[in-house]
Amino acid sequence: MLPVTPTAAGTLVKVASSVLTEVAALRDRIVEEVSGELPELAQDAQARDLLVSTVRENLIAALGVFGGATRRADVGAPPVALEFARRLAQRGVPITTMLRAYRLGQAAFQQEMITRIAAEPVSAGDVAVAATELSSVAFGYIDKISEEVVEAYQLERDTWLRDRNANRLAKVRAVLSGKAVESGEIEKAIGYVLADRHVGAVLWCGPDVDEGARLSSLERHAGLLATAAGGRAPLVVAPDASTVWAWFPAPIDPDVVTRVLNGSPEPVRVALGDPASGLDGFRGTHQQALQAQAVALMAGDGLSRSVTTAAQLGPLALVAADTAAVATWVRTVLGALADDDEQHRRMRETVWAYLSSGSSLMLASQELHLHKNTIQYRLRKAEQARGRPLAEGRIDVEVALLACRLLGPAVLRPAGD
């Protein structure tokens, strides 16, 4: 870097002083450029006033450094800039938008200063030195100020989201409790229409996701699911640091949910209730989603399924309260057919296809792409493994097979036992 000559330093002081006397004009130009490029920063008169004050105070602070009135080490974000950052956080304006505003402001400021430096009656060398020093100091100022406003933004955003979630969660719990509620007041407080048709959902993630990022990740995925489904924004609340409850305006296709989750690098899992309408439906579909989550959690890491729906559970939702108890019951009903190996897995899939098709060999063979003789052979082997006919306690067999499909190793007998 070129050494700052006395002439170049004097030029910077002179130019900074001249700009300071006309700071209102530069402020207005920057405000117009920023608000034109980023209209979300000046959505109303109050926001625009904060933007104007923030630009003015930053200009005065920066010019104070160039004019020698302030040491670089003493520079800090003006209080109004911190207040503006907090307000943007409350309104959900992305932090990237705020930082872009600072870059636009820096560019306009440097352009004004360089234009004035070039007009000074000094040598080209001194102009170059002054311009270089200008860029260095301006970058250092914006870098330090950006760190402070980002910290204020993030702290406010975390606090505001936590408070907003606590308020929404309290209202939602009141609805879920079954107590009489005034729907109009609740809907206004939570921003969601209870009379609509909804699909309840539970989203959660495991320890592989950083603890501090879990809720933001889950909320983001809820938004992705709503967008993919082509519906309105869901109601989302967080009962704990690793889970969110959501209600999507119906319908929402489980296949769409699966595609979104499979395309995400984060291990988010979702449980869905059935579509339901009104206040009772709001409660019922949520309860179904919780049941589906409970079954998915019982399966643990044994299955890779990212989405579990209430429609898949059938009667299993009534019995899947205790993993050990379900496992014991499944093994009692299926005998060796519950063994966790490839041979018995093929038998179970064959029996499932046969029974779920109304005991039709033809439909089962079509579904599995196997000859009817192969289906018959596997059915006989399955009965031998079970130790009794499949028709004996058929309903129990179907529920036990459903448990095997949904819970996998959690209820199967480990190979070798």
The CATH number of whichever domain residue 95 belongs to comes to: 1.10.490.10
Q: Domain check: are 272 and 393 in the same one?
A: no
- Helix (H) or strand (E) segment spanning residue 271: strand 268-272
Task: Give domain status of residue 29, yes or no.
Answer: yes
Least confident of 12-26, 54-68, 263-277, 402-416: 402-416
pLDDT category at 373 given cuts 50, 70, 90 is very high
Task: Give domain status of residue 166, yes or no.
Answer: no
Q: How many domains does the chain divide into?
A: 3
Where are the alpha helices (H) located in 300-407, listed in sequence order? 310-313, 316-319, 323-334, 342-356, 361-368, 372-386, 394-407
Q: Domain check: are 148 and 229 in the same one?
A: no
The reported pLDDT for the residue numbered 318 is 61
What is the CATH number for 202?
A: 3.30.70
Q: Domain check: are 18 and 131 in the same one?
A: yes
For residue 329, what are the domain limits? 317-410
For residue 178, the SS3 value is coil
Average pLDDT for 353-375: 90
Task: Give domain status of residue 360, yes or no.
Answer: yes
The reported pLDDT for the residue numbered 81 is 94
For residue 41, the SS3 value is helix
Q: Decide: residue 44, CB within 10 A, 0-12 exposed, 13-18 middle, 19+ buried.
A: exposed
Q: Domain check: are 279 and 348 in the same one?
A: no
Average pLDDT for 183-188: 82
Closest CA to 367 of 377, 376, 356: 356
Tokens of 164: 């907003």
Q: Domain check: are 260 and 368 in the same one?
A: no
Task: Give domain status of residue 353, yes or no.
Answer: yes
Average pLDDT for 34-61: 91
Q: Where are the beta strands (DSSP E) in 206-317?
A: 235-240, 243-249, 268-272, 276-277, 307-309
CA 97 and chain centroid, separation: 19
How far apart (Å, rounded) are the C-alpha atoms in residues 317 and 308? 12
Domain boundary among 265, 295, 313: 313
User: CB of 23 within 8 A of CB of 56?
Assistant: yes
Residue 196 sits at the vertex; the CA angle it makes with 195 and 198, to the nearest 5 degrees, is 120
Q: Domain check: are 209 and 147 in the same one?
A: no
The reported pLDDT for the residue numbered 146 is 92
Q: Which amino acid is at 118?
A: A
How far apart (Å, rounded) are the C-alpha atoms in residues 234 and 226? 7
How far apart (Å, rounded) are the C-alpha atoms in residues 101 and 86? 15
- Report which listed range, 18-32, 37-51, 232-246, is most confident: 18-32
- Helix (H) or strand (E) segment spanning residue 32: helix 23-37
The reported pLDDT for the residue numbered 332 is 83
The reported pLDDT for the residue numbered 103 is 94
pLDDT category at 130 given cuts 50, 70, 90 is confident
CB atoms within 10 A of CB 284: 18
DSSP 266: S
Res 75 pLDDT > 60: yes
pLDDT category at 9 given cuts 50, 70, 90 is confident
Least confident of 30-44, 61-75, 145-159: 61-75
The reported pLDDT for the residue numbered 319 is 59
Task: Give domain status of residue 188, yes or no.
Answer: no
The reported pLDDT for the residue numbered 125 is 87
Q: Domain check: are 253 and 272 in the same one?
A: yes
Tokens of 335: 């005998």
In this prediction the pTM is: 0.54
Task: Give domain status of residue 175, yes or no.
Answer: no
Q: Decide: residue 262, CB within 10 A, 0-12 exposed, 13-18 middle, 19+ buried.
A: exposed
Task: Give domain status of residue 179, yes or no.
Answer: no
Please give the mean pLDDT across all residues of the chain.
Answer: 86
Domain boundary among 313, 334, 362: 313
Parallel/antiparallel/unpaired status of strands 235-240 and 268-272:
unpaired
pLDDT category at 92 given cuts 50, 70, 90 is confident
Task: Give domain status of residue 151, yes or no.
Answer: yes
